[in-house]
């Protein structure tokens, strides 16, 4: 062997030894039916210098497995380390506790999770089983783990294991190793692989999307509905269903839209819920005929025409995930089932016991396509809203005649969104699950994590929520960042008097400045659910708060950071940025005063506008002090606005 060959062999040996010494591994915990745990170590395959892949073949998943935890060594930390664990939404926890547990059963909204320690952040992206896992963060004796838990037993309740568990792990270093870099990495992946486009680009050829860029959504919560009965043993049919309670018939809605317009709201997308046969959650999957008790098809058409005359956009809510006994389309053979033939619990709602409809069957039977075309004829174009679909992992179906995996059902949901965009001009859904995101224009709210944090649900183990989902999808999909922010100008909701049994609570009309600021900081838009004229002044207030920043919906969110205690900067692709101050005293940022409980909008041309919270009027411009007073006229429901001098 010549010297060059010897030298090459020697160097190759060094490299192999070095790789073996630094090869990444994951601890696999198989949680067993008898309560025991079986562990093994699995090597991670190198994909690139900053990416490794975990694969667990489906053949290795034993019959006694309940769930499987996958914990790479780099997804661990100890109390006192500099960093945090983080889930897909942006919920995070710093390494400050001896013990604690956080488990997100809707982890697949975006199939990512991460752990930052020091100058490095590792994040996982679930590629196989993306709809069938929970994200977990646990601390025991000061040792932290962040990992996916694959729910084997829950999946097998419907059908056998059908795919390998696959997770790609990527490393971010230096300046990119934080929640912003984590979000940007996934955003880049989605733009390259998921077919998503900026809303402003879609708007060039789609007037529905173009209108959404300038408006916010007002949901007529329930034109009508039945009371939810406390006796859940009853099985509803058309013969014994409860009588309808009519709240907002179409003729009254016309007057509502007029008064809202006269009060100064010039751009709104109305979302009609409860227009369907039997009212809200009454006879799904029946959509038609339009409920006669609120005006029928002619009334719905007239309401839509009035909205268009006033410059508003009309839309409607449908649901193809539930099935109720009073429906003409009711057929238990179309319901999702476990492999043993039993039905999953769908809850108990105004239509009685809900069965989970196999949505693929609804699509295959042509129900959805027929309904979309008929609805377009009644109300014209507008983003069709699908209740539930983006709020859940796609429902599994184990019916032997129409078995559907969660991945396949996710493709069905995405197809429905696509069909709605074609028929109605747009599509929307409830929350932030992103399987069909390329075909969605807006979601009502993301989920509850900010509210969970504010209520201390996890006893301090959850440190807060970063705008991760927002950094990924701002400028692509319109959103409100949390259910906690819904109806934010209404104040606190009281459900203790039993009114919620009929679908609503009572609000105290005391707006929380933190909620108003959080909408601005996280780049969201307000969403208002309404059923009464008494909401109009609060909706007007929300509109006035939103208008100064609505143009930012066209931009990518490019950055976010805390610049001082309680002061947060959010940056956008056009060079704009907002600085929000949650403190009760003013703050100074870059030589600029940031009002207490207020924010400053810095424009690309160097101009700026300051806004401060006023208990009566919400967030108002604080430079000119042109306060937006809302006055009640005699009779109580018609608001008007006028500028007033600085008191």
**pLDDT grade, residue 647 (50/70/90)?**
very low
Q: Residue 231: what pLDDT?
A: 87
d(CA 300, CA 308): 13
Q: What is the largest distance, in Å, between two alpha-carbon atoms of the chain?
A: 103
DSSP class per residue in 145-204: EEEEEE-HHHHHTTS---S-EEEEEEEEEGGG-SHHHHHHHHHHHHHHHS----HHHHTT
* 625 has pLDDT over 60: no
pLDDT in tens, 40-63: 999 999 999 999 999 999 999 999
Task: Give the list of residues 6+ apart from residue 168 with CB closer than 8 angstroms, or none.
Answer: 47, 51, 52, 53, 54, 124, 125, 127
Q: Residue 494: what pLDDT?
A: 82
Q: Which of 94-112 are b and which e, b meaning 16 or more Cβ less than 10 Å from the residue's Cβ?
A: bbbeeebebebebbbbbbb
Among left, alpha and beta (phi > 0; psi -120 to 50; other), residue 627 is: beta
pLDDT in tens, 436-455: 999 999 999 999 999 999 99
Q: Residue 4: what pLDDT?
A: 47
Q: What is the DSSP letter of 443?
A: E
* 270 has pLDDT over 80: yes
Domain ranges of the chain: 24-193, 560-640
* 189 has pLDDT over 90: yes
d(CA 257, CA 64): 59
pLDDT in tens, 218-258: 999 889 999 888 888 889 999 999 999 999 999 999 999 99
Tell me which of 59-73, 86-100, 377-391, 607-621 is least confident: 607-621
Copy the structure tokens of residue 175. Answer: 């300046």
Tell me the whole-structure pTM to 2 decimals. 0.92
Q: Residue 20: what pLDDT?
A: 37
Beta strands in 463-616 (DSSP E): 464-465, 493-494, 506-507, 527-530, 557-564, 567-572, 577-581, 587-589, 592-594, 598-602, 608-614
* 288 has pLDDT over 50: yes
d(CA 595, CA 610): 7
Place of tokens 């208002």: 528
Copy the structure tokens of residue 593. Answer: 């005063």
- When the pLDDT of each residue in the chain is averaged and rounded to a whole number, the result is 92
List the one residue out of 23, 69, 71, 30 whose CA is nearest residue 47. 23
Q: Residue 15: what pLDDT?
A: 36
Phi and psi angles of residue 565, each rounded to the nearest 5 degrees, phi first? -55, 120
pLDDT in tens, 324-346: 999 999 999 999 999 999 999 99
Q: Residue 2: what pLDDT?
A: 52
Please return the burial class of 593, using the count of CB atoms within 10 Å of its CB with bins 0-12, 13-18 and 19+: middle
Beta strands 268-272; 313-318: pairing state: parallel
- Higher per-residue confidence, 232 vs 212: 212
Q: Residue 456: what pLDDT?
A: 95
pLDDT in tens, 531-555: 899 999 999 999 999 999 999 999 9
pLDDT in tens, 144-166: 999 999 999 999 999 999 999 99
- Higher per-residue confidence, 21 vs 112: 112
DSSP lists the bridge partners of residue 588 as 593
Rounded to a whole number, what is the distance in angstroms from the first to the last CA of the chain? 94
pLDDT in tens, 465-511: 999 999 999 999 999 999 999 999 999 888 776 555 555 678 999 99
Please return the burial class of 341, using the count of CB atoms within 10 Å of its CB with bins 0-12, 13-18 and 19+: exposed
């Amino acid at each position: 062997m010549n010297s060059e060959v010897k030298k090459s062999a020697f160097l190759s040996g060094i490299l192999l030894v070095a790789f073996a010494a630094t090869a990444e591994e994951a601890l696999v915990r198989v949680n067993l039916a008898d309560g025991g745990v079986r562990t093994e170590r699995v090597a991670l395959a190198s994909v690139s210098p900053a990416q490794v892949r975990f694969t667990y073949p489906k053949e290795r998943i034993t019959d006694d497995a309940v769930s499987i935890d996958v914990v790479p060594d780099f997804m661990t930390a100890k109390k006192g380390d500099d960093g945090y664990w983080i889930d897909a939404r942006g919920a995070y926890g710093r390494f400050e506790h001896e013990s604690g547990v956080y488990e997100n059963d809707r982890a697949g909204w975006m199939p990512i999770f991460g752990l930052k320690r020091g100058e490095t952040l590792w994040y996982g992206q679930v590629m196989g089983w993306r709809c069938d896992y929970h994200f977990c963060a646990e601390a025991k004796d000061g040792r932290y783990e962040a990992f996916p838990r694959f729910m084997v037993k829950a999946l097998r309740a419907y059908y056998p294991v059908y795919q390998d568990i696959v997770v790609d792990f990527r490393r971010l270093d230096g300046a990119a190793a934080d929640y912003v870099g984590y979000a940007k990495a996934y955003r880049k992946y989605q733009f390259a692989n998921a077919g998503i486009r900026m809303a402003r680009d879609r708007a060039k050829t789609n007037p529905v999307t173009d209108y959404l860029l300038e408006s916010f959504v007002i949901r007529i919560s329930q034109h009508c509905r039945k009371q939810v009965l406390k006796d859940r043993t009853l099985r509803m049919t058309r013969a014994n269903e409860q009588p309808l309670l009519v709240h907002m018939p179409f003729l009254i809605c016309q007057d509502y839209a007029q008064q809202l317009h006269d009060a100064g709201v010039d751009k709104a997308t109305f979302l009609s819920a409860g227009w369907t046969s039997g009212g809200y959650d009454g006879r799904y999957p029946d959509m038609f005929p339009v409920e006669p008790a609120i005006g029928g098809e002619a009334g719905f058409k007239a309401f839509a025409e009035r909205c268009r005359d006033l410059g508003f956009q009309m839309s409607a809510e449908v649901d193809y995930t539930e099935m109720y006994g009073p429906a003409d389309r009711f057929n238990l053979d179309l319901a999702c089932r476990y492999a043993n033939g039993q039905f999953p619990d769908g809850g108990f709602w105004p239509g009685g016991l809900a069965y989970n409809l196999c949505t693929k069957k609804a699509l295959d039977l042509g129900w959805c396509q027929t309904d979309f075309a008929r609805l377009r004829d009644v109300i014209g174009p507008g983003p069709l809203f699908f209740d539930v679909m983006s709020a859940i992992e796609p429902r599994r179906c184990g019916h032997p005649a129409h078995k559907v995996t969660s991945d396949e059902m996710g493709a069905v949901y995405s197809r429905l969104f696509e069909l709605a965009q074609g028929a109605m001009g747009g599509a929307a859904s409830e929350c932030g699950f992103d399987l069909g995101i390329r075909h969605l224009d807006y979601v009502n709210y993301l989920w509850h994590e900010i509210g969970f944090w504010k209520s201390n649900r996890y006893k301090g183990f959850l440190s807060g929520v970063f705008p991760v989902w927002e950094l990924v999808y701002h400028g692509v999909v319109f959103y409100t960042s949390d259910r906690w922010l819904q109806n934010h100008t209404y104040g606190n909701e009281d459900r203790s008097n039993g009114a919620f049994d009929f679908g609503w609570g009572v609000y105290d009309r005391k707006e929380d400045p933190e909620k108003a600021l959080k909408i601005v900081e996280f780049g969201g838009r307000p969403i208002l659910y309404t059923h009464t004229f008494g909401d109009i002044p609060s909706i007007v207030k929300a509109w006035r708060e939103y208008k100064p920043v609505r143009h930012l919906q066209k931009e990518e969110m490019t950055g976010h950071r805390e610049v001082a205690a309680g002061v947060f900067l959010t940056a956008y692709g056009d060079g704009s940025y907002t600085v929000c101050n949650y403190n009760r005293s003013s703050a100074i940022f870059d030589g600029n005063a940031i009002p207490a409980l207020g924010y400053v909008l810095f424009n690309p041309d160097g101009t700026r506008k300051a806004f401060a919270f006023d208990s009566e009027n919400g967030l108002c411009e604080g430079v000119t002090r042109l306060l937006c007073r809302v006055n009640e006229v005699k009779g109580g429901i018609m608001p008007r606005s006028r500028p007033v001098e600085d008191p």
